[in-house]
Chains A and B, each alone.
Chain A
Amino acid sequence: MSTTTENTAPAPTPAPVVVLAKTVITSWKAPVAFLVFTLAMFALAIFGARPGDTTFRLSSPADAIQLPEVVVPSAPTVWVVAILLAVVTIVSAAMVRAQKRVPLWLIVIFAVLFMFGFLTWAAAGSSLPMIGLLFGSLSLAVPLIYGSLAGVIGERVGVVNIAIESQLLAGAFTAAVVASVTGNLWLGVIAAMVAGVLVAMVLAVFAIRYLVDQVIVGVVLNVLVVGLTSFFYSQVLVPNAAVLNAPPRFERLPIPLLGDIPIIGPVLFKQTIIVYIMYVAVAAVYVGLFHTKWGLRLRAVGEHPQAADTVGIKVNKTRFWNVALAGAIAGLGGTFFTIGTGIAFNKEMTAGAGYIALAAVIFGQWDPIKATLAALLFGFASNLQNTLSVIGSPVPSEFMLMLPYVVTIFAVAGLVGKVRPPAASGKPYVKS
């Protein structure tokens, strides 16, 4: 990616016109990355050619509008895609030579083309259910997105929240128990948020008031909540499973009209209320952070607490309550594991989602929208791995299991580049 910097030359007093010296820094990163992927596609076409047709199923039988299946012959399609990729690569190289930046739309075109070519190759001789692929991706991403929102708020206000995992797990546990006992799903949601807040408050108290290293408090909390929930699970929930651990579930709520849009309708708008709340939460956090007084204060506290203090913002109070808010969001995300899908609580069932969410925060450059996209990318790569291994991919399963991580690393290296955290993230504020 290239960057353009403009330096204002000091204007000499007699001259009436200010002269701007312009420096253009070009970057060959995009064309080089394109070249690597294009060569990989040619390698698939030449050495890995697989016979048969690839079928893309664009509708599931339950959809209102049925799209026809798209059938392409695998081997020729891979060749066509490889050639198209080569064209895009040449275009991007020409742009860089002409000292222009490679625009984002070209990167998107390249990524979509490459993904289409790869899927055509990997699914040769079988059919790919696109709805199921995307639906599952979103299901895997939901807890990551909630967790990354909590992480973004925490770090933007200056507290590193390693404890997302424990907040998700506490939320999942509490939601299952409260919803089972009361039979009321919303009480379960509220209880999960309270549980998330309690975990967050422990973090906040130690990090803000007692100035304990935030990373260490977070790690300890993760271990503590795993221990607590596992203990109560085996000693209390298992013997009384019918009463304490048989949660009801949120049913799917298809949204009229929106749910009937081909492809995206069944994926995005035939979900449970937990997922709809997530859409609202992402938008709310984004608008809140960057377009409200609350967000301005929050970011000020996370970037330069001394300055914020000088203008009368109570730094530690702001941090405390926003960390608590982040805990509520993560706790809400935890409900997806239990009452969101109708599964009873099980030990360590969050399975590291909180850590992936933490990575999404950083990959997403501490921005709620980008963090959401990073979480979606991870969810997509995970479910792509599922789908490909089911249809019998030629790649060994151990390697396939690495796919989500490999894709995420490449995407981050290629698209994100250098990241800068909030300046005061992780640093306790002591009034001097």
Chain B
Amino acid sequence: MGNRLLTASVVAVISVAALVGCAEAPSSTGASSDAAGDYCARMVTNSGGLEDRSFNQSSWAGLQKAEKDAGIEVQALVSTGETDLAPNVQQAVDSGCQFVLTVGYELADATTSAAAANPDVHFSIVDEVVDAPNVKPVIFDTAQASYLAGYLAAGVSKTGKVATFGGGNQPPVTLFMDGFVDGVAAYNAAHGTQVVALGWDKVKQDGTFTGDFEDINKGKTLTESLIDQGADVILPVAGQVGEGSAAAALENPGVSVIWVDNDGFDTLPAKYHPVLLTSVLKNTEDAVAQIVTDDAAGTFDPAPFIGTLENGGVGLAPFHDLASAVPQELSDEIDALKAKIVDGSVVVTSPSTPE
């Protein structure tokens, strides 16, 4: 018995080793022949991995889009922990590719040092600013879009209370929360209402956090606490932890959720459709695809790309199944507000706003 088990477990270990071997090079495509010549691009993820339903996934989608449209050879190096980051960046540089994309603020240090050591290679980093002549930061002013989300939430709330929470107190997270509470305040100012936004105090820059981006069970109990306090529209800014919010909303009639980063209507299981009010979109895919394609064509500048409502880098997703819950006047007000933000007559500010 014991021997057979041992054999089985050894087989399991070996197969894992084999699988890991696959994972390191998931998309080596030989099709790097045409227009782009021998130009190739590499991407290094943070510990979230490629299917994080967040910026790793959308950055990778951007590279794949560039591969499809411009024939650029791309590969991703998946980091599984903090200790993988610098070696993976080094490996990406050693591959001899002209372009290296890194994703997440954890990779800032590794990118900075690799960029200094390899001035001929072009780098790009998503969601973080690195100031170097060969690094192009890709950042998003998500506060603009979550401002609209806050306005919307305040408009559809029946209880007069809405809420947000984050995974951790970090600028890319709190940027959403700043915009959200300001949007609620804007609704109150326009309508003379007293809608309360729980979970974030913009002045103190502190609020409600789960402490990680994995623990869905905690996300669910935290959302139940928010619902207990009367909140009926919830904006979780915590990656997959937000699925716990959606699960809690399903059990509490009248509560809806605003997803972040991508359209939750497409990325979450279909059973959550009845509780998804909208999503605050961060269009990393198109930005990354554009930057890589431009670089392959010989155009590169280190000025940061800042996604805004104006250039479509951030936005609000359709209301989908809950469209009937949003009155036409409110929808029109949001469109008007968006136009005002784009033309600059309304300025959304946050201490975390990228510059």
Check B27 for interface membership: any CB of A closer than 8 A.
no
CA distance A348 to B214 in the complex (A): 6
Check B199 for interface membership: any CB of A closer than 8 A.
yes
- Residues of chain B from 200 to 233 with CB closer than 8 A to chain A in the complex: 201, 206-209, 211-212, 214-218, 220-222, 224-226, 228-229
Give the contacting residue for A129; candidates B6, B169, B228; CB below 8 A: B228
Stretch binding the partner chain, chosen from B13-21, B86-94, B288-296, B302-310 = B13-21
Contact across chains for B198 and A390 when beta carbons are under 8 A apart: yes
Contact across chains for B51 and A383 when beta carbons are under 8 A apart: no
Q: Which residue of A lies closest to B201 (CB)?
A: A392
Give B238-278 as 1s and 0s: 1 = Cβ < 8 Å from A's Cβ atoms: 00100110010010000000000000000001110000000
Contact across chains for B271 and A246 when beta carbons are under 8 A apart: yes
CA distance A378 to B77 in the complex (A): 38
CA distance A238 to B209 in the complex (A): 27
Contact across chains for A337 and B216 when beta carbons are under 8 A apart: yes
Contact across chains for B208 and A397 when beta carbons are under 8 A apart: yes
Check B5 for interface membership: any CB of A closer than 8 A.
yes
Check B349 for interface membership: any CB of A closer than 8 A.
no
Contact across chains for A397 and B209 when beta carbons are under 8 A apart: yes
- Measured between beta carbons, the chain B residues less than 8 angstroms from A383 are 221, 225
Whether A246 contacts B270 in the complex (CB less than 8 A), given A346-B240, A390-B208, comes out as: yes
CA distance A390 to B162 in the complex (A): 11
Give the contacting residue for B216; candidates A343, A390, A396; CB below 8 A: A343
Give how many A residues have a beta carbon under 8 Å from the other chain's beta carbons. 53
CA distance A175 to B209 in the complex (A): 29
Give the contacting residue for A341; candidates B206, B211, B214, B217; CB below 8 A: B217
Contact across chains for B6 and A210 when beta carbons are under 8 A apart: yes
Whether A343 contacts B244 in the complex (CB less than 8 A), given A136-B224, A337-B216, A389-B208, comes out as: yes
Contact across chains for B169 and A143 when beta carbons are under 8 A apart: no
Contact across chains for A140 and B240 when beta carbons are under 8 A apart: no
Stretch binding the partner chain, chosen from A71-79, A226-234, A277-285, A421-429 = A226-234
Check B192 for interface membership: any CB of A closer than 8 A.
no
Contact across chains for B209 and A401 when beta carbons are under 8 A apart: yes
Contact across chains for A342 and B51 when beta carbons are under 8 A apart: no
- Measured between beta carbons, the chain A residues less than 8 angstroms from B216 are 337, 343, 346, 349, 351
Give B1-31 as 1s and 0s: 1 = Cβ < 8 Å from A's Cβ atoms: 0100110010011001001100100000000
Q: Which residue of A lies closest to B51 (CB)?
A: A234
Check B160 for interface membership: any CB of A closer than 8 A.
no
- Measured between beta carbons, the chain A residues less than 8 angstroms from B198 are 390, 392
Instruction: Report the minimum CB–CB distance from A196 to chain B (whole Å).
Output: 15
Contact across chains for B218 and A140 when beta carbons are under 8 A apart: yes
- Measured between beta carbons, the chain A residues less than 8 angstroms from B199 are 389-390
Give the contacting residue for B169; candidates A136, A205, A390, A398; CB below 8 A: A398
Q: Which residue of B lies closest to A402 (CB)?
A: B211
CA distance A136 to B206 in the complex (A): 23
Check A344 for interface membership: any CB of B closer than 8 A.
yes
CA distance A351 to B214 in the complex (A): 6
- Measured between beta carbons, the chain A residues less than 8 angstroms from B269 are 241-242, 245-246, 344
Check A387 for interface membership: any CB of B closer than 8 A.
yes
Contact across chains for B222 and A386 when beta carbons are under 8 A apart: yes
Check B171 for interface membership: any CB of A closer than 8 A.
no
- Measured between beta carbons, the chain B residues less than 8 angstroms from A227 are 16, 19-20, 80
Check A391 for interface membership: any CB of B closer than 8 A.
yes
CA distance A353 to B262 in the complex (A): 29
CA distance A344 to B243 in the complex (A): 9
Give the contacting residue for A209; candidates B6, B23, B51, B201; CB below 8 A: B6
Give the contacting residue for B215; candidates A132, A224, A344, A351; CB below 8 A: A351
Give how many B residues have a beta carbon under 8 Å from the other chain's beta carbons. 46
Whether A387 contacts B250 in the complex (CB less than 8 A), given A231-B19, A337-B217, comes out as: no
Check B49 for interface membership: any CB of A closer than 8 A.
yes
Which of A133, A136, A336, A352 lies at the interface centre, i.e. has the most chain B CB atoms within 10 A of its CB? A136
CA distance A139 to B247 in the complex (A): 14
Check B50 for interface membership: any CB of A closer than 8 A.
yes
CA distance A231 to B51 in the complex (A): 10
CA distance A347 to B241 in the complex (A): 11
Give the contacting residue for A242; candidates B229, B244, B270; CB below 8 A: B270
Instruction: Report the minimum CB–CB distance from A396 to chain B (whole Å).
Output: 6
Q: Which residue of B lies closest to A390 (CB)?
A: B225
- Residues of chain A from 377 to 432 with CB closer than 8 A to chain B in the complex: 382-383, 386-387, 389-392, 396-398, 401
- Measured between beta carbons, the chain A residues less than 8 angstroms from B169 are 397-398
Check A255 for interface membership: any CB of B closer than 8 A.
no
Whether A205 contacts B271 in the complex (CB less than 8 A), given A343-B220, A351-B214, A392-B201, comes out as: no
Whether A233 contacts B212 in the complex (CB less than 8 A), given A346-B240, A397-B206, comes out as: no
Give the contacting residue for A391; candidates B20, B229, B247; CB below 8 A: B229
- Measured between beta carbons, the chain B residues less than 8 angstroms from A209 are 2, 6
CA distance A126 to B196 in the complex (A): 13
- Measured between beta carbons, the chain B residues less than 8 angstroms from A401 are 209, 211
Q: Which residue of B lies closest to A398 (CB)?
A: B169
CA distance A233 to B211 in the complex (A): 23
Contact across chains for B208 and A224 when beta carbons are under 8 A apart: no
Check A201 for interface membership: any CB of B closer than 8 A.
yes
Among all A-B residue pairs, the 7 with the closest Cβ atoms:
A351-B215, A132-B228, A136-B221, A234-B51, A129-B228, A389-B208, A401-B211
Residues of A within 8 A of B (CB): 60, 126, 129, 132-133, 135-136, 139-140, 143, 201-202, 205-206, 209-210, 224, 227-228, 230-231, 233-234, 238, 241-242, 245-246, 336-337, 341-344, 346-349, 351-353, 382-383, 386-387, 389-392, 396-398, 401
A-B contacts, 18 of them at CB < 8 A, read A136-B221, A205-B2, A206-B6, A206-B9, A209-B6, A224-B16, A231-B23, A241-B269, A336-B217, A341-B217, A349-B240, A351-B212, A351-B216, A351-B217, A390-B198, A390-B208, A391-B229, A397-B208
